[in-house]
Amino acid sequence: MPNCILVGNLAIETTEDSIHKIFSRIGLVQHVSFVVDHKGAHRGFAYVIFDTRIQAQKAVESMNGIECDNRKLTVNFKSAPKIHKQGLLSRIFNFYGRE
């Protein structure tokens, strides 16, 4: 997915809604998905899917290093993983009609 970015260094209190709000300043955010551990707690990073690759690139260029919940975010242009053994990212692939 060329329109997918990886956002890291997220604080425990950061929510999917807050990430959606922050990155919506750049463009149309189609989906935000936190990667969680076996207990359901997020692991400090999330995938954000934009409507276009250009929006994703703009997010990487302008949002890397911004502060959110007292932490500087890392933002990288990344493809969502094709396989996740616990199926926790299946919402992303179901969103796009993939398995």
| Reported pTM | 0.78
Per-residue pLDDT of the chain (99 residues; tens, 9 = 90+): 479 999 999 999 999 999 999 999 999 999 999 988 888 888 999 999 999 999 999 999 999 999 999 999 999 987 655 544 344 455 544 544 444
List CB contacts of 50: < 8 A, sequence separation 6 or more.
3, 4, 5, 23, 26, 27, 28, 29, 30, 56, 59
Tens digit of pLDDT for each residue in 38-59?
888 889 999 999 999 999 999 9
Domains of the chain (ranges plus CATH)? 4-95 (3.30.70.330)
